[in-house]
Amino acid sequence: MEYNSRNAVIQNLKDAGCSEEMIRTFLDCLKKGMVREQLDLLAVQRKTLLDRIHREQKEIDCLDYLIYQIERNKAAG
């Protein structure tokens, strides 16, 4: 294994929000030397996280707009 250690890889995947199933699949690919599949799994997880960030940013934008409207009405009235 070229990575620091199996436990370090597992911890990194957990810290990145990967499911237990994804971790098992990743480790199986690692064991079999299936680098392309490992990269594909990581890309899917990255996209999942990025989609979540974008969704939550939209929610923050909605709140910011509501705050802006309330403060504008307060200043006018």
Q: DSSP letters of 9-67?
A: HHHHHHHTT--HHHHHHHHHHHHHT-HHHHHHHHHHHHHHHHHHHHHHHHHHHHHHHHH
Measured CA distances, 73 to 46, 59, 62, 63, 64 (Å): 41, 21, 17, 15, 14
25-61 pLDDT per residue, tens: 999 999 999 999 999 999 999 999 999 999 999 999 9
66-75 pLDDT per residue, tens: 999 999 998 8
Residue 20 CA to residue 69 CA, distance in Å, equals 44
Q: Where are the domains of the chain?
A: 6-76
The two tokens of residue 52 are 């979540």
Query: What's this model's pTM, rounded to 2 decimal places?
Result: 0.79
